[in-house]
Structure 1
């Protein structure tokens, strides 16, 4: 494989946006320019996701309020799914609802049991403007729903309920990254 064909190989690792920063709670804008800046953004998203050991990353998680995300995520059968979606729309989220552990690079070190559908379909475009449809099951369906939530201004914590929600809120309040950012 050529060096340039590895996603993120030419990308720059950017700082992660953490919970509490306004860009994470705002609706992201549609991409209108499918030029070289978009290709650079996708490369940077991959580089940052890999550096942080993530399986998905939305553009607003690096401070860019555009509707773009990348993923390198297995499904429940350990099949690897690798790609990106520009201007994604979650067109299906159905099947069985499963509560499973979910974390986020914007809430480092935390996770909570979060309910998600075990099947999801996302439609959007590639960096070249070509239509793409991504089907996900199991853990990969969770990833697709999670990244689409980011672009709508949400995080997985918004889906957590009951005692899990109260525990997560306490953990967020005590998190070292919250105190370091002065948002405790």
Structure 2
């Protein structure tokens, strides 16, 4: 297993839509993504964040509380979302040090393929639902800045660039 370099915004790959996974062997990539996510103290990581333009993400929303619950989702689809949204500040491993308010549904129903090839469908709410939607955004070339109105986005981008120049 290896810790992979994490792409940092404004890397153009973070704005690209990913291709579907088509039978590739992903075991090593998934293991490396988990190792990278844990080392970076994240709770989710999408393949494009490590330069792999495939529809895959990993997450573990509980490990910081002591119990690990790693999950990998290949070719995920959000089948349904609760109509009532909430706004919560989100961080991103590809935009370190910046939190931005993002409005998202509180709950989602997701279908995905697991690494062993089984197709799953489940309901998620709370932080798990938010994490899934955040990582799903990455698969579509969307970052947290894209959720902001123009003036707020310009301010957040300038703050990030000032911190990381």
TM-score, length of structure 2 as denominator length:
0.90
Q: Secondary structure at the match of 2:82?
A: strand
Q: Deviations over 1:67-119 (max 9, x none)?
A: 10000014xxxx97531100111112224211111010000111111111100
Decide whether the 8 Å contact of 1:85 with 1:132 is kept in 2.
Answer: no
Which residue of the partner structure matches residue 17 of structure 1? Answer: 7
Which residue of the partner structure matches residue 99 of structure 1? Answer: 87
> Could you tell me which of 143, 146, 149 is aligned with 1:161?
149
Between the aligned partners of 1:175 and 1:132, the Cα distance in structure 2 is 41
TM-score, length of structure 1 as denominator length:
0.81
1:59 aligns with 2:60: no
Q: Deviations over 1:128-179 (max 9, x none)?
A: 2110224221111111100000001111211123664343122123131xx2
Aligned-residue CA RMSD (Å): 2.0
Unaligned runs of 5+ residues in structure 2 are none
> Could you tell me which of 32, 49, 66 is aligned with 2:22?
32
1:1-184 map, 5 Å = 11-35=1-25, 38-74=26-62, 81-161=69-149, 164-176=152-164, 179=165
Distance 1:146 1:16, change over 3 A: same
Q: Secondary structure at the match of 2:60?
A: strand
Count residues with an aligned counterpart: 162
